[in-house]
Amino acid sequence: MSVSPHPPAPLGDLTPELKYSLQERVEHNLITLVTKLSASRFYHESPALQSLRNALGTPGIGASLDAKSKDVLTSYSDFVPLTMYSDYAPYVARVIPHSDTHVSNVADVRHLLAPGLPAYVAYSSGTTGSAAKHFLKYPSTVYKPLRWDTQEAAVKHSGVMCNIACIRLAKVVRLPDAGEKECHDVHIPVAQVSAGGLRAYLGIEPTEDAYLANHKAPFCATPFAAWLLPAYGSTVYMNAFFGLIEARVECVAMTFSTILCDAVRLIETHWAEWVIAIEHGSLPEIDELGEYCVKLQLRQITPGSEGFLKKVWPNLVLVSVILSGPYATALPKLRHVFGPTVTFQSKIYAATETVVGFGYDVNDYNLYRLDSSEHIELLEVEQQCSIENLRQPYEVVVTNNDGLWRYPLNDVVEVAGFSPTDGQPLIRYVGRKDVTFRIHSEFVSQSFLQQAVISLSGTLGPISEFTVEPDERKPLRAYGFILELQGELGSNAGQALEQLKQYMCRNEGYKKCFDINCIGNPTIRIVPAGTFDAYRNRQADNTMSTPGQVKIPCAITDSAARKWLADRVVADFEIEYGSK
Strands 186-192 and 171-175: what pairing?
antiparallel
Beta carbons within 8 Å of 3's beta carbon, 6+ residues apart: 345, 346, 347, 358, 359, 360, 361, 362
Beta carbons within 8 Å of 457's beta carbon, 6+ residues apart: 332, 463
* CA-based end-to-end distance of the chain: 50
**Residue pLDDT, tens place only, 31-44:** 999 999 999 999 99
**Residue pLDDT, tens place only, 106-146:** 888 999 999 999 999 999 865 544 567 999 999 988 778 88
C-alpha–C-alpha distance, residues 330 and 450, integer Å: 12
Share of the chain above pLDDT 70, in %: 89
* Residue 434 amino acid letter: D
Please indicate whether residue 355 or residue 129 has the higher confidence score (pLDDT). Answer: 355
**Could you tell me if residue 74 is left (phi over 0), alpha (psi between -120 and 50 degrees) or otherwise beta?**
alpha
Q: Is the separation of the CB atoms in 526 and 459 below 8 Å?
A: no
C-alpha–C-alpha distance, residues 483 and 462, integer Å: 10
How far, in Å, are 96, 387, 515, 580 from residue 322 at the CA level?
A: 31, 25, 37, 37
- What CATH number has the domain spanning 446-573? 3.30.300
Q: In this predicted structure, what is the pLDDT of residue 384?
A: 42
C-alpha–C-alpha distance, residues 298 and 540, integer Å: 32
Q: In this predicted structure, what is the pLDDT of residue 276?
A: 83
Q: Is 330 exposed, middle or buried (0-12, 13-18, 19+ CB in 10 A)?
A: buried
Q: Is the separation of the CB atoms in 362 and 374 below 8 Å?
A: no
Q: In this predicted structure, what is the pLDDT of residue 413?
A: 92
- The pLDDT-based confidence of 292 (bands split at 50, 70, 90) is very low
Strands 186-192 and 120-123: what pairing?
parallel
Strands 375-380 and 463-471: what pairing?
unpaired
Per DSSP, the residues of 206-248 read: TT-HHHHTT---TTBSS-HHHHS-SSHHHHHHHHHHHHHH-TT
Q: Is the separation of the CB atoms in 316 and 296 below 8 Å?
A: no
Q: Is the separation of the CB atoms in 403 and 414 below 8 Å?
A: no
Counted residue by residue, the chain has a size of 580
Tell me the average pLDDT of the chain: 86
Q: Is the separation of the CB atoms in 67 and 31 below 8 Å?
A: no
Q: In this predicted structure, what is the pLDDT of residue 2?
A: 60
Q: Is the separation of the CB atoms in 543 and 523 below 8 Å?
A: no
Nearest partner of 3 among 266, 323, 245, judged by Cα: 323
- The pLDDT-based confidence of 425 (bands split at 50, 70, 90) is very high
Share of the chain above pLDDT 90, in %: 54
Q: Is the separation of the CB atoms in 20 and 427 below 8 Å?
A: no
Nearest partner of 467 among 545, 532, 534, 528, judged by Cα: 532
Q: Show contacts of 95-99: CB within 8 Å, 24+ apart.
A: 95/121, 95/136, 95/173, 95/188, 96/121, 96/134, 96/171, 96/173, 96/190
C-alpha–C-alpha distance, residues 366 and 389, integer Å: 18
| Whether pLDDT at 176 is above 90 | no
- The pLDDT-based confidence of 328 (bands split at 50, 70, 90) is confident
**Residue 537: enclosing H or E segment and its boundaries?**
helix 531-543
- The pLDDT-based confidence of 294 (bands split at 50, 70, 90) is very low
Nearest partner of 339 among 230, 233, 264, judged by Cα: 264
Q: In this predicted structure, what is the pLDDT of residue 89?
A: 95
Q: How many CB atoms lie within 10 A of CB 313?
A: 23
Listed in order, the ranges of the chain carrying CATH 3.30.300 are 446-573
Q: Which residue(s) pair with 418 in the sheet?
A: 11, 425
- Determine which of 279-283, 314-318, 534-538 has the lowest per-residue pLDDT on average: 279-283
**Residue pLDDT, tens place only, 438-475:** 787 677 878 889 889 999 988 998 899 999 999 988 87
Please indicate whether residue 258 or residue 320 has the higher confidence score (pLDDT). Answer: 320
Q: In this predicted structure, what is the pLDDT of residue 293?
A: 39
- Determine which of 321-325, 328-332, 339-343, 541-545 has the lowest per-residue pLDDT on average: 541-545
Q: In this predicted structure, what is the pLDDT of residue 188?
A: 94
Q: Is the separation of the CB atoms in 195 and 168 below 8 Å?
A: yes
Nearest partner of 526 among 472, 456, 461, 573, judged by Cα: 573
Q: In this predicted structure, what is the pLDDT of residue 285?
A: 38
Provide Rg for the chain, Cα atoms: 25
**Residue pLDDT, tens place only, 149-158:** 998 888 888 7
- The pLDDT-based confidence of 436 (bands split at 50, 70, 90) is low
Across the beta sheet with 249-256, the strand order is: 160-163, 249-256, 318-322, 343-345
Q: Is the separation of the CB atoms in 326 and 554 below 8 Å?
A: yes
**Residue pLDDT, tens place only, 356-398:** 999 999 889 999 999 988 999 999 875 444 444 456 789 999 9
Determine the longest span between alpha carbons in the chain, in angstroms: 77
- The pLDDT-based confidence of 295 (bands split at 50, 70, 90) is very low
